[in-house]
Structure 1
Amino acid sequence: MLVRKPVWALCCALIFISSLSACSLLKNSENTAHPDTNNSAKIKNIILMIGDGMGPQQVGLLEEYATRAPNSIYQGDNSAIAKLANLGITGLSLHGPADKLVVDSACSATQLATGVAAGSEMIGLNRAGHKVPTILEKAKGLGKSTGLVSDTRLTHATPAAFAAHLIHRSMENEIAEQMIQSGVVDIMLSGGLRHFVPKNYALPEHPKGFEANLKASALSLKSKRRDDKNLLAEASSKGYELAFNKSQLQQAQSTKLLGLFANSAMANGVDTSHGRVNVQPSLSDMTQTAISTLSKNDKGFFLMVEGGQIDWAGHNNDAGTLLHEMIKFDNAVNAVLEWAKGRDDTIVIVTADHETGGFGFSYSGANLPKAEQLNNHKKDVYKPNFNFGKLSILDKLYAQKKSYGDIWYEAKGSAFKPTPEKLIKTVNKYSEFAINLDDAKQILAEQKNAFYQRGHKSLGLKTASKIHDFAPFYVYLTERPLNLIGRALSSKQNIVWSTGTHTHTPVGVFVLGPEALTKQFNGLHTHVELGKKMQRLLMH
């Protein structure tokens, strides 16, 4: 009898992972016997959900908040991710590139999409640069419907890897062209309008068709294109119905749908939780629409859903926003779980491309607990040696009212950077954890950029915010002030961060579906092997 592992099996499994070599992992993974599928149900649908930057630590943050925060919005119930994990199978996966240790989102998603080892920052190519068909493209070839959903941009690394083939993830204009021109994706819902409209784009005075919808949405039309290609018009001519806000999405009738709900990224988790962007559909809304539309195809469908801004909160060392991003993604997981639970024709896989930030709760020597007299110990007092973190921290993280990025931009206004006084006032207005003058001065301090590279997208500044340790791993120089806000608040939050980039930490793999097929995901894998397993299921 198969033992179904709870979500916390991740933590235990991590203990032994570090003692295994990558070589033996690959060998064991490749030698895994294929499941006996002769008598198993026919799989019509595969739903892959990727929490970008969602390591075991981030899953732990969500579940701690859900079940143990005194004022949890879950009211002590498990998260949807935990429910899915406990109903199905829990495994782990390593995700390194073909020839490096640490992966980026493009390479990782490419490996999941193709089952082939890829190079850093590549889209839909193998390490040698050759085009490799993706699971989405293969699903389309089998007559299934296909969908991509993300709360970042449709052209961002993760969705792009399933529907485009380019040498670098930064080629978002070209990614947009390939997505529309190939017609391989039936449902595309995300942000990123700026890569689909031509330069200097202006709506006509009396717009018709999709342009009337675009005008009604009042979205920014600041194009990132350098040409006059109107990919919206091209999509419309290919039979796509276009939507640009929540109400238009709700009214859409076509089985081919392009929804672009923001010029760049969609609303972050904090704004979503506080209901500040009602004109945009939520990640859960988009997921439900995609499933209801794609499931009209009797041959089934493949759908990839990304919670992409978990990663961004991790890059910024922003724990409050990280929690809200996990909740946003969990709401989408819940929508999928409610639809798929009990079905024998659907496989749901929830995983991540990598972990971001090296996040974790930790005990410390700051704010040591006071002695406590316990009723059954009259002679002795109970006094732990260290501060192990109060559960009320979880509620305070949820109570954060703006992301660190929004806090920083409000504090600095039109200036290059804020005054210490303005920074203190703004941080303390939106965070339950306060900074003081010394903190503000450290956040605003600058140093010579030791890694300066002329013309480099991230490292092209000669000076940057001063990082006292691990400076080589805080490569996004314009975002360093956000990392430093996180550092300033970390001891109050009982939180540590090890980096501003990604880690190699194995990520969870939570799979729901017929047991005869899902049991192959139990154990430790690589993303290349996960990609191969999904493609075998597709052909089943």
Structure 2
Amino acid sequence: MKDYPSALPKLILLGIAGFLLTGCSTIAEKTAAAPKIKNVIMIIGDGMGPQQVGLLLSYARQAPHGVLRNHKTALDRIIENGRIGISLTYPDGALVTDSAASATQLATGKFAKAEMVGLDAEGRPAENIIEKAKRWGKATGLVSDTRITHATPAAFAAHETHRSHETIIPEGLLATDADLMFSGGLDYWLPKAAAEKDSAVHRQLETMTEHAFKIGSARKDDKNLLDTARKQGYRLVFNARQLRQATGKTLGLFAGSGMSDGIMESRNRLNPNHAEPTLAEMSEQALKILERDEQGFFLMIEAGQIDWAGHRNDAGLMLHEMLRFDAMLHKVLDWLGEREDTLLIVTADHETGGFGFSYSGKNIPEPKRLASGHVFKPNFNFGSPDILDKLYAQNLSYQEIFAEFDALPPAQKTAGVLAERVNRHTGFKIDTDEANSLLVTQTNTNKLPGNSTFLVYTKDNREKLLAEILSAKQQVVWASGAHTSTPVFVFTKGNERATEPFANILHHTDIGRLMIDALKPQGAVD
């Protein structure tokens, strides 16, 4: 008994020491297992709802002569060891979002109102992830196949009361000072004199761009924001060759407005000397530049013209836009490999068009005797997979078909000629009577499509009328010519603990906050 008083303190000390050692071990294990995210890559398929993803997957799996290797998409590669969730996209005070509000919510983690860029629901500037990343010492980049002043890229840098302020947005982009910006939209950076072919600035730009595309101006003032960009240390590049030579802080503007559509890119990709870089090439070069920063980086890549195809109800074009997205995503995944220090997030800002394949009571297949001896006699036409090959075979968008038709002499603008043009450029034939119904302008409101309440591009409704005629032959239905409230997918790949929170039912503000938290260095101020 005499020894107890002296032994008890020793036992207590040993117990405390053991607890502390156990505690230290647990803390060390948790710290080692905690995700240390150096880089975040966000990829936005503008307008890419589950329906558009379904089109890509259907093409990969079912097209008899599909071009995708092993019938596999880049999304298949992500999900092999990644995660998938869904996200609601609505903005503050509304059911349906536009790209500006949705991208703002992704970029800031805060609710925004429709058509505002980089502002919270009260109209105050909201610090976006590019600005935060710069403050944390990280490199930053924006890539889009639309134009850099368009709603989605603008929302990751600028702060404007309306997305239409595209001559002001470049100044916001420069103020944010992203390390690289690759897209179209040169016209919004050039003084009004640039539109004059005999002006010095016009001739200078033709030399700088190496005549890669037409020079113009969308401005009504004399500001030359390229000069401002150059003074801020940006290297200016305007074509694919110049892009490949870029190594540091770079502003790449590869078209006067929007870049070429997905069909044109599919064609240009086959030309080794193409002047306009592809979305995959811009993304690949962006990663080569940003990965040099030892502190890490944030990169947003937008496949923006999926949305434009949806607005125009152009199914063939939309397939090519999804294939452009897929080619880009493969390049990103090649770079990513199995890195644990990078979080990849792939989502959409919203769905556009309410697209889908559907069955009908027209052109029901003839009965067919099966090997079993049974007769296969469906009651409906459920659509042949051959349709997917025909969609891919489309070699001009509906918009370009009409542009080609409009460029003809007046005497040639007949229904017969229009039918020939449509039949030449799509895999679905129309007759002269159907073509004649397309020769209508906006004033003929009785000829507008049935869902005309939900049209966006009403200046020329012929594309919608063509879509109605061809959709019946494509087994395609469209709910709208605008955005829908359909929830969108969220694909993530990277450190398991970093991706886990995304495998949930989220809102875009949740994605924004999770992304910011993942990129934030330990001890940094949000």
Q: TM-score, normalised by structure 2?
A: 0.89
- Supply the distance in 1 between the matched residues of 2:200 and 2:216 (Cα, whole angstroms): 20
Aligned-pair CA distance for 1:221: 2.2
Q: Secondary structure at the match of 1:347?
A: strand
Q: How does 1:412-491 map to 2 (within 5 A)?
A: 412-413=406-407, 418-446=413-441, 448=443, 466-491=447-472
Question: What whole-Å deviation, never above 9, does each CA across 1:299-325 have from its counterpart, x for those lacking one?
Answer: 000000000100000011000000000
Are the aligned partners of 2:353 and 2:480 in contact in 1 as well (CA < 8 Å)? Answer: yes
2:315 to 316, 319, 335: 319
Matched residue SS, 1:73: coil
Change in 2 beyond 3 A, CA 1:205/1:486: closer
Q: CA RMSD in A?
A: 2.2
SS in 2 for 1:148: strand
- Give deviations 1:27-46, integer Å, cap 9, x for gaps: xxxxxxxxx87722310100
Offset, 1:155: 0.2
Q: Contact 1:155 / 1:172 at 8 angstroms: preserved in 2?
A: yes
Q: Matches of 2:494 and 2:446 in 1, distance apart?
A: 48
Match of 1:156 among 126, 132, 150: 150
Q: Distance in 2 between matches of 1:73 and 1:211?
A: 38
**Closer, same or farther: CA 300–395 of 1 in aligned 2, 3 Å:** same
Residues 219-228 or 234-243, more deviating: 219-228
Kindly indicate whether the alpha-carbon contact (under 8 Å) linking 2:39 and 2:297 is maintained by their aligned counterparts in 1: yes
Pick the structure with more helix per residue.
Answer: 2
> Greater CA deviation, 51-60 or 267-276?
267-276
- Find the aligned partners of 1:116 and 1:268 in 2 and give their Cα distance: 32
Pick from 482, 485, 495: which aligns with 1:501? Answer: 482
Which one of 262, 287, 291 corresponds to residue 269 of structure 1? 262
Q: Deviations over 1:240-281 (max 9, x none)?
A: 00000000111123x210000000111111011112771011
Structure 1, residues 470-490: CA drift from partner, whole Å, max 9, x if none?
221113212421121111011
Partner of 2:42: 48
Q: Partner letter of residue 167 of structure 1? A: T
Which sections of structure 2, spanning at least 5 residues, go unmatched?
A: 1-29, 522-526
Structure 1 CA distance, aligned partners of 2:297 and 2:256? 28
User: Alpha-carbon deviation of 1:382?
Assistant: 1.1
Deviations 1:490-540 (A, max 9, x none): 121110011110111111100000111101100211101111111111115
Q: Aligned equivalents of 1:258 and 1:126: distance in 2? A: 27
Residue of structure 2 equivalent to 1:347:
343
Structure 1, residues 324-351: CA drift from partner, whole Å, max 9, x if none?
A: 0010111111111111120000000110
Which whole-Å CA distance do the structure 2 matches of 1:357 and 1:289 have between them?
32
How do 1:350-389 residues align onto structure 2 when only pairs under 5 Å count? 350-377=346-373, 380-389=374-383
The AA in structure 2 aligned to 1:127 is A
Q: How does 1:223-242 map to 2 (within 5 A)?
A: 223-242=217-236
Equivalent residue pairs, number = 487
Tell me the equivalent position of 2:510.
Answer: 529
2:138 equivalent in structure 1? 144
Aligned to 2:524: none
Unaligned runs of 5+ in 1: 1-35, 449-462
Q: Which residue of the partner structure matches residue 304 of structure 2?
A: 308
- Percent identity reads 47
Aligned-pair distance for 1:411? 1.4
Aligned to 1:456: none
The Cα shift of 1:435 comes to: 1.0
Cα distance in 1, alignment partners of residues 292 and 197 from structure 2? 34
TM-score by length of 1: 0.86
- Structure 2 vs 1, CA of residues 214 and 56 (structure 1 numbering), >3 Å: closer, same or farther? same
Give the Cα–Cα distance (whole angstroms) in 1 for the partners of residues 82 and 207 of structure 2: 42
Whether 1:299 and 2:280 are equivalent positions in the alignment is: no
Does the 8 Å contact 1:70/1:395 carry over to 2? yes
Contact 1:464 1:477 (8 Å CA) reproduced: no
Alpha-carbon offset, residue 418 of structure 1? 4.4
Counterpart in the other structure of 1:14: none
